[in-house]
């Protein structure tokens, strides 16, 4: 049955795509079988992450960007666009209000666009656990460009950088002083910046602060990247000697002022996103990022799968007794976990 | 999914319902106001929803609701639970049931009643 679903997804049937994404959200063996059947047909789409603080206009910007790619871009035939918009799940009720579609009404009725809302379901990095799988479904279904809009992100929700090829960080004027711009985290993951609501006072200052931050990227001898708590060193390229803002692949993040509600600055933003993809392809960085992505995905699956197995293999009573011993300080959690894993 | 078909812009009721359903542990897609039946059916399809709740206060329900249920059927989504709310005269309710709208909830309905109805009837 699931292979049949995968077949229908490959033909681009919208109902099948929607069903497959639900299956992925529900997890379980059927979801794994469908994703396994789709995997060989993925890897073609350009995955674009859009992240930024709540209320910065991410959904409106995604709407404008998708509309531009569908209507105004020079590509022929027009690029097809899949959109996955993640909103937060309530930590108390488990419910969620998924409201990103409200801003995307201009895209309704366009068969070349597929929009799916998704609740984060307790995941903390700005995405849902099922987001990667949903991206795969849209990729296999033939969407050329897939936009993933994260939960409104503060400083540390940086999972999107590993899930996407190109990360757009949306900022708005007046969010903070220059110190905010030199903090670690979300500003570091941008390939392209959008300073949205640029008709507000302070837009030029925000652009300047971002530029300053980029120009200060001089520090380290080699680029070091956090990867599941491990440090991975990447080699610095010669470009950096001329311009310190250029990243290890030779790309300098560009900064664009936009007013998404009026569709201002969108052409330039879309061009920058597409130019970044071309850059990744030319430099071989795409292959490197794909490898990173595959590695991170595998690790996440192993983590979840091994936890599931251990819990499945452990008698309820045994688990409860281990927890009791840990609480009473007769046993430490490290030893307990080793005991469970060795069984 | 909570949707507002038609041209009235009064979505306070829809938002109250969306919020109550959220607090009952449901994931609620809210489409916003001024949705055409085509937009609602297409959103329901893409989001693969279990329930479509529509709120309308303009009196256009007998024109817009049948089109939504028809489109849902065309999309093989007849198993979706369809609910209606807003200002709907009692005499229209039988006709709405007829066209596949299982629950009709007027002003003042306790949100618990709607939540219970969804839990009992949704696929």
CA distance B18 to A95: 10
In this complex, the residue of A15, A89, A95 whose CB is nearest that of residue B23 is A95
Residues of chain A in contact with residue B43, where contact means CB-CB under 8 angstroms, are 101, 108, 115
Instruction: Report how far residue A207's alpha carbon sits from residue A209's, in angstroms, rounded to the nearest whole number.
Output: 5
Map residue A158 onto helix, strand or coil: coil
pTM reported for the whole predicted model: 0.88
Band the pLDDT of A186: cuts 50, 70, 90: confident
Q: How many CB pairs under 8 A join A and B?
A: 75
Banded model confidence at residue A244, pLDDT cuts 50, 70, 90: low
> pLDDT above 90 covers what percent of chain B?
82
Is the confidence at residue A184, as pLDDT, over 80? Answer: no
For residues A173 and A201, the answer to whether their CB atoms sit within 8 Å is yes
- What is the band of A83 on the pLDDT scale with cuts at 50, 70, 90? very high
More confident residue, A311 or A68: A68
Contacts of residue B34 in chain A, CB cutoff 8 Å? 105
Cα distance between residue A74 and residue A69, in whole Å: 8
Model pLDDT, residue A220: 43
- Do the chains contact at A95 and B38, CB–CB below 8 Å? no
Phi first, then psi, for residue B86 (nearest 5°) are 115, -150
Interchain CB distance below 8 Å, A19 and B45: no
Identity of the residue in B27, B31, B34 whose CB atom sits nearest the CB atom of A95? B27
% of chain A residues with pLDDT over 70: 87
pLDDT(A221) > 80: no
pLDDT score of A267: 96
Binary contact (B19, A115; C-beta < 8 A): no
Q: Where is average pLDDT lowest: A113-127, A147-161, A217-231?
A: A217-231
More confident residue, B30 or A304: B30
Does B31 contact A101 at a Cβ distance shorter than 8 Å?
Answer: yes
Closest Cα partner for A237 from A195, A310, A167, A288? A288
Local confidence band at A230 (pLDDT 50, 70, 90 cut-offs) = very low
- For A107-120, write each residue's pLDDT tens digit: 998 999 999 999 99
The burial of A244, by beta-carbon neighbours within 10 Å (0-12 exposed, 13-18 middle, 19 or more buried), is given as: middle
Q: Which residues of B touch A18 (CB under 8 A)?
A: 45-48
- A227 falls in which pLDDT band (50, 70, 90)? very low
Q: How high is the ipTM of this complex?
A: 0.91
Q: Is the pLDDT of residue A134 over 60?
A: yes
Residues of chain B with pLDDT under 70: 123
Domain ranges of chain B: 2-121
pLDDT 10s digits, A188-207: 889 999 999 999 999 999 89
Greatest Cα pair distance in chain B: 33
When pLDDT is cut at 50, 70 and 90, the band that residue A157 belongs to is: confident
Residues in chain A closer than 8 A to B78 (CB atoms): none
Q: Which of A75-79, A269-273, B107-111 has the lowest mean pLDDT?
A: A75-79
Q: Is A233's pLDDT higher than 60?
A: no
Distances from the Cα of A329 to the Cα of A70, A141, A291, A333, B62, angstroms = 61, 53, 42, 9, 67
**A212: pLDDT strictly greater than 80:** yes
**Hey, CA dihedral for A306, A308, A314, A318, is it positive or negative?**
positive
Name the nearest CA neighbour of A22 among A11, A41, A12, A35: A35
Stretch A23-52: mean pLDDT: 93
Contact A198, A169 (CB under 8 A): no
**How far is it, in rounded angstroms, from Cα A335 to Cα B58?**
65
A177: pLDDT confidence band, cut at 50, 70 and 90? low
The encoded tokens of residue A24 equal 């992925």
Say whether domain B2-121 belongs to CATH 3.40.50.280. Answer: yes
In whole angstroms, give the CA distance from residue A340 to residue A16: 40
Say yes or no to pLDDT of A231 above 50.
Answer: no
For A89, the closest chain B residue by CA position comes to B27
Q: How far apart are the first and last CA of chain B?
A: 14
Q: Which of A17, A22, A89, A96 is the mutation pick for testing B, counting most B CBs within 10 A?
A: A96
């Amino acid at each position: 049955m699931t292979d049949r679903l995968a077949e229908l997804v490959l033909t681009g049937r919208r109902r099948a795509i929607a069903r497959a994404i639900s299956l992925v959200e529900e997890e379980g063996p059927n979801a794994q079988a469908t994703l396994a059947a789709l995997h060989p047909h993925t890897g073609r789409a350009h995955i674009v992450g859009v992240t930024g603080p709540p209320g910065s206009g991410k959904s409106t910007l995604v709407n404008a960007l998708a509309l531009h790619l569908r209507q105004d871009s020079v590509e022929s035939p027009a690029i097809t666009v899949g959109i996955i918009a993640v909103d937060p799940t309530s930590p108390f009720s488990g419910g969620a209000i998924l409201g990103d579609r409200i801003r995307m009404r201009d895209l309704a009725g366009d068969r070349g666009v597929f929009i799916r809302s998704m609740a984060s379901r307790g995941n903390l990095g700005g995405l849902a656990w099922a987001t990667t799988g949903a991206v795969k479904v849209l990729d296999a279904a033939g969407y050329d460009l897939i936009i993933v809009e994260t939960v409104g992100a503060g400083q540390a929700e940086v999972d999107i950088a590993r899930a996407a090829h190109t990360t757009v960080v949306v900022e708005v004027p007046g969010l903070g002083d220059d110190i905010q711009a030199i903090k670690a985290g979300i500003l570091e993951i941008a390939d392209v910046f959008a300073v949205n609501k640029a008709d507000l006072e302070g837009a030029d200052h925000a652009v300047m602060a971002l530029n300053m931050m980029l120009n200060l990227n001089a520090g380290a001898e080699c680029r070091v990247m956090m990867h599941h708590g491990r440090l991975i060193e990447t080699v610095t390229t010669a470009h950096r000697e001329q311009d310190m803002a250029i990243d290890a692949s030779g790309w300098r993040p560009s900064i664009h002022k936009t007013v998404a509600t009026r569709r201002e600055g969108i052409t330039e933003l879309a061009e920058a996103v597409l130019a970044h993809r071309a850059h990744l392809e030319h430099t071989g960085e795409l292959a490197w990022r794909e490898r990173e992505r595959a590695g991170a995905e595998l690790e996440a699956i192993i983590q979840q799968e091994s936890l599931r197995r251990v819990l499945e293999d452990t008698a309820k009573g045994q688990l409860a007794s281990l927890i009791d011993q840990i609480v009473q300080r007769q046993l430490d959690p490290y030893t307990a976990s080793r005991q469970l894993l060795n069984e | 999914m909570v949707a507002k078909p038609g041209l009235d812009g009064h979505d306070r009721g829809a938002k109250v319902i969306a919020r109550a359903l959220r607090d009952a542990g449901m994931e609620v897609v809210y489409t916003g106001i001024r949705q055409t039946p085509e937009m609602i059916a297409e959103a329901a399809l893409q989001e693969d929803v279990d329930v479509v709740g529509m709120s309308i206060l303009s009196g256009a329900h007998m024109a817009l609701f049948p089109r939504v249920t028809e489109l849902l059927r065309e999309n093989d989504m007849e198993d979706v639970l369809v609910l209606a709310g807003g200002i709907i005269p009692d005499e229209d309710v039988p006709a709405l049931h007829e066209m596949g709208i299982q629950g009709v909830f007027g002003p003042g309905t306790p949100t618990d009643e709607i939540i219970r109805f969804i839990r009992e009837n949704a696929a």
